[in-house]
Structure 1
Amino acid sequence: MKPEELKLVVRDKYSQIASQSGNTSCCGPSYDCCGVDYTIFSENYTLLKGYNPDADLRLGCGTPTEFAGIQEDQHVLDLGSGAGNDCFVARAIVGEKGRVIGLDFSAEMLVKAKNNAQKLDFQNIEFVEGDIEDMPLASNQFDVVISNCVLNLVPDKTKAFSEIKRVLKPGGHFCVSDVVIKGQLPEQLQSDAEMYAGCVSGAIQMEDYLNIIRSAGFEKITVHKQRTIDIPQDTLKKSLSDKEIKGFQDGSTGIISITISGWTVI
């Protein structure tokens, strides 16, 4: 599939999730009717200050705000903000004088996020429609950029990290949770559009991911956390042979959630 076609797959899938969340006749808490159970990647947010259950669609693969070092009064950008889950947690940290912007390209997700912010009467959170590879945002305006299981869905990750560097202030940093792979992911899994939208097939080798970050000019790159994703047998059987499934089970091939940060040069 061409990059633009993949973007449409991702947009359509997450727009579908946004429209159906809360509808018990379809996706319910695991979204399994949408083709992939995305919640196998998610972590528990309920104990984090600022947590808003209405904004938690369980589509992340980590908790980047825990490792981002966000400070009071800072300006924070959340890429692929969805219904606003990480934005509300970040807002609890930056306080009344800080600012949080969520960027997403799904109109349906943006509607949910804006409704959630309106219910809480927050004046310093804004949700913007846009593409991570070409952000409609001015340069040098954010102290911290966060993202949760989104950048692996972006076809051109080099452009994505270049844009992150552009919008960060000198001395600013990013902290993202994302999905990378270990070993050689079977071709069928890599080309499966449903699995792409579910965070798997968009993933690349961890070292390739780190090299993209280095090439973008970031320094002090730190991997804070790694976690192997346990893919259900039923999901694997849709794309893999018994031999390939065994590779997942013996650890020679795997899908890993990482939380990683990097800093711009002052």
Structure 2
Amino acid sequence: MTGGIDPAEQRAAVRERYATIATGDSEGCCDSGSSGSCSGSSEEASERLGYSSDEIGAVAGEANLGLGCGNPTAIADLRPGETVLDLGSGGGFDCFLAARRVGPEGRVIGVDMTPEMVEKARKNAEKNDAGTVSFRLGEIEHLPVADESVDAIVSNCVINLSADKPRVFAEAFRVLRPGGRLAVSDLVRTAEPLDGLRADPESVAACVAGAATIEGLEAMLAAAGFEDVGIDPKDDSEEFIREWSDERDPSEFVVSATIEARRP
């Protein structure tokens, strides 16, 4: 369990939240349903997360949902011809950016557990003529990806949503080739959330209450077999995180961070 929530209940809450985002029945962003930073466009939200105007303008369709807490493709050092896996790929925005970097000889795989998101991403792939990008329905704790088949893994504010983070990192290690790397943007916990938040499925599904500490993440990554672990909190993320909720200030207990590691 995570914070007293049954894992099945947590998965259901996350799936329901992102299904409504995929179908346009909810605001984007990792917020708690507030008007906050989500009142602007997805393009404005992405600029605040670290995406360039060139990156934002390069992707057609509705792939950019304004979700996330950083820009994982900026730290992944993707190279032509590589195979990239995106954990929790949503509408496919990071996948299409990764495809630009790995080129026509490369391949990008997006995995998402929400059927509505996978359907949306596949439609966006057609709009972007992205023949090297594919999307698969699956959980990041049980990846539908072969052993040692991926060069790099990216993810944007998704691992904090998992009820079994050690399993996520074990699966990431399994599918990476020797020498492969993990480069994700996610949240880390800097203090205990307010009473009751970690036991509230909606707060966990909104990225507000499910994050692990830096020390906890380092231990999980080491246990999975990763080396060269580096976790770099981004203090300037406080500006957009505090707008994720009208009822509380999440920046008091979470911060965005880049999380990098390598499979030996």
Q: What do residues 214-240 of structure 1 show as CA deviations (whole Å, max 9, x unaligned)?
A: 111111112345234342495334xxx
Establish whether residue 99 from structure 1 lines up as the match of residue 107 from structure 2.
yes
C-alpha separation in 2, matches of 1:30 and 1:222? 25
Closer/same/farther in 2, CA of residues 93 and 225 from structure 1, 3 Å limit:
farther
User: Does structure 1 residue 47 correspond to structure 2 residue 46?
Assistant: no
TM-score normalised to structure 2 length? 0.85
Residues 60 and 263 from structure 1, CA distance in 2 versus in 1: closer, same or farther, beyond 3 angstroms? same
Q: CA deviation at 1:150?
A: 0.2
1:87, CA displacement in angstroms?
Answer: 0.2
Q: Distance in 2 between matches of 1:151 and 1:29?
A: 17
Change in Cα spacing, 1:91 to 1:129, as seen in structure 2 (3 Å) is same
Alpha-carbon contact 2:83-2:150 (below 8 Å) kept: yes
Residue segments in structure 1 that go unaligned for 5+ positions in a row = 21-25, 238-244
Query: How far did residue 140 of structure 1 move?
Result: 0.2
1:2 match = 6
Q: CA deviation at 1:133?
A: 0.6
Distance 1:234 1:218 in 2: 34
- Shift of the alpha carbon at 1:58? 1.1
Map of 1:199 onto structure 2: 207
Equivalent of 1:11 in 15, 24, 33 = 15
Aligned twin of 2:246: 235
The farther-off stretch of 92-101 and 50-59 is 50-59
Question: Is residue 59 of structure 1 aligned with residue 67 of structure 2?
Answer: yes
Contact 1:87–1:102 (Cα < 8 Å) also in 2: yes
Which structure has the greater CA radius of gyration? 1
Deviations 1:94-122 (A, max 9, x none): 01110000000111111110001011222
User: Identity, % of aligned pairs?
Assistant: 37
Deviation at 1:141, TM superposition (A): 0.3
TM-score by length of 1: 0.85
Aligned length: 247
The AA in structure 2 aligned to 1:235 is D
Instruction: State the Cα RMSD in Å.
Output: 2.4
Give 1:136 shift: 1.5
Structure 2: any 5+ residue segments left out of the alignment? 39-44
SS at match of 2:196: helix
Q: Is the 8 A contact 1:226 1:258 kept in 2?
A: yes
Shift of the 31–214 alpha-carbon distance from structure 1 to 2, 3 Å rule, reads: closer
Secondary structure at the residue paired with 2:15?
helix
If asked which structure has higher relative contact order (CA below 8 Å, sep 6+), I would say 2
Residue 159 of structure 1 is matched in structure 2 by 167
Deviation for aligned residue 1:47? 2.5
What residue number does 1:258 align with? 257
Superposition deviation, residue 205 in structure 1 = 1.5
Give distance in 1, aligned partners of 2:244 and 2:98.
35
Q: Which residue type is aligned with residue 12 of structure 2? A: L
